Amino acid sequence: MSSISVIIPALDEEEPIGGVVRECLATGLPNEVIVVDNGSTDRTAERAHEAGARVVTAPRGYGRACAAGVRALGPECEIVVFLDGDGSDVPAFMNHLVEPIVRGTHDFVIGSRTRGQREPGSMNFQQVLSGRVAGFLLRLLYRVHYTDMSPFRAIRRNALERLDMREQTYGWNLEMQMKAARAGLRILEIPVNHRRRAGGESKVSGTFRGTFVAGARIVATFVRVALG
């Protein structure tokens, strides 16, 4: 059996984080769950730890958090799973994400929320549209099939470490998808269900500022990686 580690970036998620960690552990798949907390002002770290996660810290920023999680991986880890800490991703789908990697047919398996069942209100129009637009552009550029920029994804550890990930904030997810395609990884997208966040407050899609900042960063990432 391959050794699986889960990385969860979490900022001020004290309400949902314990449940997310427990749901991940309940799948019986991960050897470790790493919660990357950067500067939460609430009890995110405490709740994550109580639920059974290893907690590491990093400077502010979604990409920095993910990168810090990767640096903290145990030496035995072979497959890395990423998901959000707000309870919106459904850990029960983790087996569908890792199975093709364990079987050896794929290196990168990404969930698509737009192809799965979405709880009403879990994704707004801009999120669905931007996932589709990114998918369209990446199909033209790299002939790959994506319909979302879902944070819920699994990747072979040695493949991830070769991608030379640079994005420090919300461009991280798109950068991984683009670099995976460019590197010729064997990519699979599968439908995953999506829920509303299980408490706490939105940092991105639920606020105008969050949407604007993340959107600008995602466009900048697209341009940088496409031209790079």
Ligand X SMILES: Nc1nc2c(ncn2[C@@H]2O[C@H](COP(=O)(O)OP(=O)(O)OP(=O)(O)O)[C@@H](O)[C@H]2O)c(=O)[nH]1
Distance CA 147, CA 127 (A): 11
Bridge partners of residue 167, in order along the sequence: none
Interacting residue with ligand X among 61, 131, 135, 171 (CB under 6 A): 61
The DSSP symbol for 194 reads B
Interacting residue with Mg ion among 5, 88, 112, 147 (CB under 5 A): 88
The candidate with the shortest Cα–Cα distance to 168, out of 91, 85, 59, 92, is 59
Minimum CB distance to ligand X, residue 64 (Å): 7
What residue number has its CB nearest to Mg ion? Answer: 86
- Cβ nearer to ligand X, comparing 40 with 142: 40
- Cβ nearer to ligand X, comparing 7 with 160: 7
CA contacts within 13 A on the Cβ side of 163: 27
Total of residues contacting ligand X (CB under 6 A)? 20
Instruction: Encode 45-80 in three state secondary structure.
Output: HHHHHHCCCEEEECCCCHHHHHHHHHHCCCCCCCEE
Q: Does 204 bind ligand X (CB under 6 A)?
A: yes
Question: Phi and psi at residue 141, in whole multiples of 5°?
Answer: -75, -45
Minimum CB distance to Mg ion, residue 93 (Å): 16
Q: Does 87 bind ligand X (CB under 6 A)?
A: no
Distance CA 14, CA 172 (A): 23
Cβ(24)–Cβ(30) below 8 Å? yes
Q: Does 197 bind ligand X (CB under 6 A)?
A: yes
- Cβ nearer to Mg ion, comparing 37 with 86: 86
Interacting residue with ligand X among 74, 199, 206, 228 (CB under 6 A): 206
Side by side, which strands form the sheet with 30-37? 54-57, 30-37, 4-10, 79-82, 153-156, 108-112, 187-191
Q: Does 86 bind Mg ion (CB under 5 A)?
A: yes
Minimum CB distance to Mg ion, residue 150 (Å): 11
Enumerate binding residues for Mg ion (CB under 5 A).
84, 86, 88
Enumerate binding residues for ligand X (CB under 6 A).
9-11, 13, 36, 38, 60-62, 65, 84-86, 88, 197, 202-206
